[in-house]
Homo-oligomer: A and B are copies of this chain.
Amino acid sequence: MNDADYVIIGAGVAGLSAAYAPKKRGATVLVLEAQDHVGGRTWSGQLEGAEVDWGGEWIGEGQPRIYALIKELGLRTFPTFDTGKKILELRGQLSTYIGTIPWMAPWKLIQIQLAIWIIDAWAKGLDMALPWNHRNAPEWDTKTLESIRSRFMWSADARATMDAAIRTIFGSESGELSLLHMLAYVRSAGSMNNLISTEAGFQHERIAGGAQSVSLAMAKAVGEEHVRLSQPVSAIVQDASGVTVTSASGQSYRAKRAIVAVPVPLGSQISFSPRLPALRQQLMQRAYMGGAVKCFVRYENAFWREKGFSGEAASGDGPVSVTFDQCSEDGKTACMLAFIGGKFARTWHRYAPDERKQIVIERLAKYFGPEARKPIAYAELDWCGEQFIGGAPIAIFPTGTLSIHGASLREPIGRIHWAGTETARQCMGFIEGAVESGQRAADEVLSAD
């Protein structure tokens, strides 16, 4: 006798999307979550009255599934604050600009634009769902993005601008990223411009009540008694008639099929029987999570807005790679986000907590003025330290991985199916991709039985 038709491992946006669709069609589901809350890499909290998103928060145009879901769940979005001057810091020097193009010597801008053109042009040729099938995929997978950065960007400022973007998008350095993975990611998002811009880009809007509210609402719709928290899964056994999923505390659940919706590298922590094919097992072993720390600083008032700043600053110098205004929708609760990514995120813990706060506040003071030195509160989340997530924002596939192991990313293995934003055929790495992957996995199990 089964405990449910389908058991889903992971109650992030992907896992809950995978549970929500069959539930609506009358199937029974059971969602097992390792953490004590739902949402996965979307997690919302409070900082002295300000709503903060510890994880993924933005959505934008070209992301139909998450917008449809938000509407269906009775949730609401509001525009990311984007009014006023932006700041770019390169090798200690600040410049301000309006719109999406920073002020820079034209020949430096040309280098940046050239790199973006090359990346967009190469990415365009890829099949969004099967980027590893491109004839150049094996070669691109032997190189890192550094091969473009060092070949087409002679200016240190152009390179630093790229570093700020790559650390923010991938939680990674150019020299780590397989060029194939990077191109597949851009293809999946549509263009570099979607990745980097706020207006008309993927940072266009925020979700009222925080991004976690999508998962909370889906969990409610699935039925909270069918979503079990603090149940890290340790083993999945499949046989001819179904799957048995066992949690670390020893509880077992039986179902027809399992959907694994955890970050790709964390699949390694589950013992599968019979063993997974080497291609899949090594895919999980090879993938790793990027490094990201989100720091929030709560202020009495949004002094930067009053001074004509949008709150957006990008820095190639680090450790902060980008800042954003994180005030409440009405602007009355003032909050600032400082994002730390890539190598700076991975070494962030080497500073004492007080030093970390000091570093962030000094960056903000440099960008927006001495008012930044009078915060009401400070808090941060280092995603590398989250045991059941492992890092953020996304899983990285090192050189030689997608070209050989990519096909195993979504391929079901008997009664085991895979979801998670990294398995998405569109907007891989985003909330939209998580929804797409969960819905696709749900279609798989529903059409299989």
Contact = CB atoms under 8 A, between A and B. Distances in A.
Contacts of A173: 142, 400
Interface string A278-306: 11011001101101000000000000000
A221 interface: no
Interface stretch (A322-330, A382-390, A429-437): A382-390
A175 B144 contact: no
A268 B271 contact: no
A177 B399 CA distance: 8
A382 B390 CA distance: 28
Contacts of A269: 268-269
Given A142-B174, A278-B348, A399-B144, A288 B291 contact: no
Contacts of A348: 278
> Looking at chain A, what size class is its interface with the partner chain?
35 or more
A275 interface: yes
Contacts of A147: 143
A400 B345 CA distance: 14
Interface in A175-195: 175-178
A277 B398 CA distance: 22
A347 to B, nearest CB: 6
Interface string A202-234: 000000000000000000000000000000001
A286 B400 CA distance: 13
Contact of A285 (B150, B177, B390): B390
A139 B175 CA distance: 8
Given A286-B398, A346-B404, 19 more contacts: A141-B175, A142-B144, A142-B175, A142-B176, A143-B144, A143-B146, A144-B144, A173-B400, A176-B398, A176-B401, A277-B350, A278-B291, A278-B349, A278-B382, A278-B391, A282-B391, A285-B289, A285-B390, A346-B405
18 contacts: A142-B144, A142-B175, A144-B144, A175-B400, A268-B268, A277-B349, A278-B347, A278-B349, A278-B382, A278-B385, A279-B346, A281-B384, A281-B390, A282-B288, A286-B288, A343-B404, A347-B404, A399-B399
Interface of A: 138-139, 141-144, 146-147, 150, 172-178, 234, 248, 265, 268-269, 271, 275, 277-279, 281-282, 285-286, 288-289, 291, 343, 345-350, 382, 384-385, 387, 390-391, 398-401, 404-405
